[in-house]
Amino acid sequence: MRPVIVAGNWKMHTTPADAGELARTIGARTRVDGVTVRDALAGPDVAAPDGTGLAVGAQDVHHEAAGAFTGAISAPMLDGLATWVIVGHSERRRDACETDELIGRKLVAARAAGLRAILCVGEQLADRDAGRAHDIVDGQVRGCLAASDPAALGGDDGRGFTIAYEPVWAIGTGRNARGADAAEMAGAIRAALASLAFSGGGDDVPVLYGGSVASSNIDEFMAEPAIDGALVGGASLKPDEMAAIVARAGLTAAARAAA
């Protein structure tokens, strides 16, 4: 059974003090077994060995383990600070001109250091309107994973590696994706993984939805069996919003566990 994951991406917001207070506030408003924020990330038992609970993630990582790269953060430098990392976010692709090949190298570096990675893929509005959404996302998955060993990326149970489908056209544009859109693209992602020889045909790899996720639309995405959670942007900075999203994800997690 794939885990249900809710990742909050705070981007370039909060200070260390603000982040702790925000985590405490979300924790105080969230009461869901298995996904509860506890003790503002303090203590060794926050993240359970099976991946449930809470963990800290980094928003990016360098593709080299060390070197003369001023301002960059390597995967080994994150040891003890984070257990997750996001690679290939649309804003990194846009603002830093990151290519699929570079993102793939970051993914390999992160997994080699034991970080659990969230690989982001997704098409632009022009691509969707032109009917190229499947081709773009398929190409991104293949381009990022071309030089990777599927077993090394996923680990024994596939949980070391997650993909977030984030349609760029649905981020802050007022144009929303539907649950069916996300489920269809999750199918395309897993088809690409299957063709790359991922175990179980890619069925072990969680696929999240990320694109203006809010409490008002999370139900539509979590109702899709192909979707395993959400990568939440702006709403993750709002305690009530994030608590509601986590609560809805908890219902899905409980239902899957009982099935």
Q: pLDDT tens digits, residue range 133-156?
A: 999 999 999 999 987 877 777 655
- List strands edge to edge, sheet with 5-8: 5-8, 229-232, 207-209, 161-165, 116-121, 84-87, 57-58
Task: Please check whether residue 251 lies inside any domain of the structure.
Answer: no
Task: Please check whether residue 124 lies inside any domain of the structure.
Answer: yes
pLDDT for 29 beyond 90 = no
Give the CATH number of the domain where residue 132 resides: 3.20.20.70
- The residues facing 207 across adjacent strands are 163
Identify the pLDDT of residue 39: 41
pLDDT for 61 beyond 60 = yes
pLDDT for 46 beyond 90 = no
Q: In whole angstroms, give the CA distance from residue 65 to residue 79.
A: 12
Catalytic residue among 62, 89, 134, 241: 89
Catalytic residue among 98, 123, 166, 241: 166
User: Looking at residues 63-70, what average pLDDT do you find?
Assistant: 96
Q: Provide the domain limits for residue 150.
A: 57-63+70-174+185-211
pTM of the model: 0.90
Task: Please check whether residue 110 lies inside any domain of the structure.
Answer: yes
Task: Please check whether residue 122 lies inside any domain of the structure.
Answer: yes
Task: Please check whether residue 7 lies inside any domain of the structure.
Answer: no
pLDDT for 197 beyond 70 = yes
Task: Please check whether residue 112 lies inside any domain of the structure.
Answer: yes
| 220 belongs to the catalytic site | no
Confirm if 213 and 245 have CB atoms less than 8 A apart.
yes
For the chain, the domain total comes to 1
- Under the banding of pLDDT at 50, 70 and 90, the label for residue 11 is very high
| 89 belongs to the catalytic site | yes
